[in-house]
Chains A and B, each alone.
Chain A
Amino acid sequence: MAAKPDNTEFDTTYYIQHHLQNLTFGKLPESYARQDSAGYGHVMERETWTWARNSEEAAAMGFNAVHVDSLAWSFGLGVVFCLLFGWVARRATAGVPGALQNFIEMIVEFVDRNVKDMFAFHNPLVAPLALTLFVWVFLMNLMDLVPVDLVPAIMAALGVEYHKIVPSTNPNITLGLALGVFVLMIYYSIKIKGLVGFTKELTLHPFNHPLFIPVNLFMELVSLLARPFSLGLRLFGNMYAGEMIFILISVMYAAGWALGLFGGLLQIGWAIFHILVITLQAFIFMVLTVVYLSMAHEHDH
């Protein structure tokens, strides 16, 4: 990470890296040489839970850290989803629906139709799961349309140095969702087919011969494990790239009014295009989840 520059000059590298750094709270290991704001280093005597001051510290924390901003926004948006949908659900009437109920029902029906098209089994979990994923991922992606400097600037004024508001640009968030889906895939595979059936599927397919068991197992395991990772990384990659372009566009604002104006036009254009991307990515995430769960329910394919 580049050192924080003096205030007179705009440092593009610092700006971009600052935008890509999460607000991290974690455990610094023992004997980590920590630099304070003045640049003096001191070696820590024992491991400590603390806020990471920069990306080196965050990296040194390893797995024992949480991205507080991503988790908070992810949780908050999930709560928004639950409150909004829960409120409408509690007041849902079979008579003439109000505008909000109509809107919510539209989403529910859209999800329901997709689930019915792709998932031919009876499982009361799948449709609510798909709805949750679709709306939640959409809301997380939607944060990408908030101007990149707005919330970080507000948080900086409040004394929080790092802040990323788009949870789905954090691989932990997207992989967390994907691993949740993976757990469900494994659970239903074993529940529906039995441990023996699931093992058979992994070992006797595609070549149904005892000699090919290792080959089958390798291929099936790769294909099985590739699913959650492709699911999580696809969403992460798309959103990360989209956010990166927003950041790069906003760099232009520091380069004079002509380029700034051009950047403004670009930002509008990219934002409009991005509306499509965030919806599509949320939809793809939902569809793939349903498809994977459907595959987990299938007895033989």
Chain B
Amino acid sequence: MQINATLLGQMIFFALFVLFCMRFVWPPIAQAMAERAQKIAAGLASAEQAQKSLEQAREQSAEHERAAKAQAADLLAQAKKRAEQMVEEAKTQAHEEAERILAAAEAERAQQLAQAKEALRAQVSHLAIAGAEKILESSVDPAAHRRLLDKLAAQL
């Protein structure tokens, strides 16, 4: 083991290399690493942000879907109600129509019956007068017995 000027030479080299490293090696590498760390952090943050907004959009779309479904159900219910209403109305109308037709027919029948009765009555009174004439052989004065005949016709 021999100590000599090698020691001093080594100290000088040491200083040189440390200075070189301090000036040209460490700062660029440390800076690149710091920048990358920042980049990665920013990327992660934005990914998280995107995740969050995706979540929000998903929620929103679910909300929309729910609203649309509710509206559709509402519309369907309304339509059903309306249809039922229409059927009901049609039924009522048909009933009324039928009743009306029935009533008209009834009225017509009654009228015809009354006419027939009238005609029949007139004929009966004529027949009665003719018969009486025949019986009485023209002794009956139609004008004198009009009241009687009318009474008779009304009684038929």
Contact of B15 with A89 in the complex, beta carbons under 8 Å:
no
Contact of A105 with B33 in the complex, beta carbons under 8 Å:
yes
21 of the cross-chain contacts (CB-CB < 8 Å) are: A58-B2, A65-B6, A66-B4, A66-B5, A81-B17, A81-B21, A82-B17, A82-B20, A82-B21, A89-B24, A92-B28, A94-B35, A95-B39, A108-B30, A129-B22, A131-B25, A132-B14, A171-B2, A173-B6, A180-B14, A183-B11
CA gap between A81 and B2 in the complex, in Å: 27
Contact of A63 with B14 in the complex, beta carbons under 8 Å:
no
A75 and B13 in contact (CB under 8 A), knowing A109-B33, A172-B4, A176-B7? yes
CA gap between A59 and B7 in the complex, in Å: 15
Choice from B5, B7, B24, B33 contacting A175 with Cβ under 8 Å: B7
Indicate whether B143 reaches chain A with its CB closer than 8 angstroms.
no
- What residues of B have a CB within 8 angstroms of the CB of A63 in the complex? 3-5
Indicate whether A86 reaches chain B with its CB closer than 8 angstroms.
yes
Contact of A175 with B36 in the complex, beta carbons under 8 Å:
no
A89 and B25 in contact (CB under 8 A), knowing A78-B17, A109-B33, A136-B17? yes
Number of A-B residue pairs having CB atoms within 8 Å of each other in the complex: 138
Chain B residue at minimal CB-CB distance from A61: B4
- What residues of B have a CB within 8 angstroms of the CB of A179 in the complex? 7, 11
Indicate whether B144 reaches chain A with its CB closer than 8 angstroms.
no
Choice from B8, B10, B26 contacting A108 with Cβ under 8 Å: B26
CA gap between A22 and B30 in the complex, in Å: 39
The distance from the CB of A204 to the nearest CB of chain B, in whole angstroms, is 31
Chain A residue at minimal CB-CB distance from B5: A66
Contact of A125 with B4 in the complex, beta carbons under 8 Å:
no
- What residues of A have a CB within 8 angstroms of the CB of B26 in the complex? 89, 108, 127-128, 131
Choice from A95, A131, A171 contacting B1 with Cβ under 8 Å: A171
**Residues of A within 8 A of B (CB-CB), count:** 53
Contact with A along B27-54 (1 / 0, CB 8 A): 1111111011001000000000000000
Chain B residue at minimal CB-CB distance from A68: B6
The distance from the CB of B114 to the nearest CB of chain A, in whole angstroms, is 113
CB neighbors of B among A22-64 (8 A):
22, 24, 26, 58-59, 61-64
- What residues of B have a CB within 8 angstroms of the CB of A108 in the complex? 26, 29-30, 33
Contact of B30 with A112 in the complex, beta carbons under 8 Å:
yes
The residue among B1, B7, B13, B32 with the most chain A CB atoms within 10 A of its own CB is B7
The distance from the CB of B124 to the nearest CB of chain A, in whole angstroms, is 127
CA gap between A75 and B9 in the complex, in Å: 9
The distance from the CB of A70 to the nearest CB of chain B, in whole angstroms, is 6
Choice from B6, B22, B36 contacting A170 with Cβ under 8 Å: B6
Indicate whether B72 reaches chain A with its CB closer than 8 angstroms.
no
The distance from the CB of B24 to the nearest CB of chain A, in whole angstroms, is 5
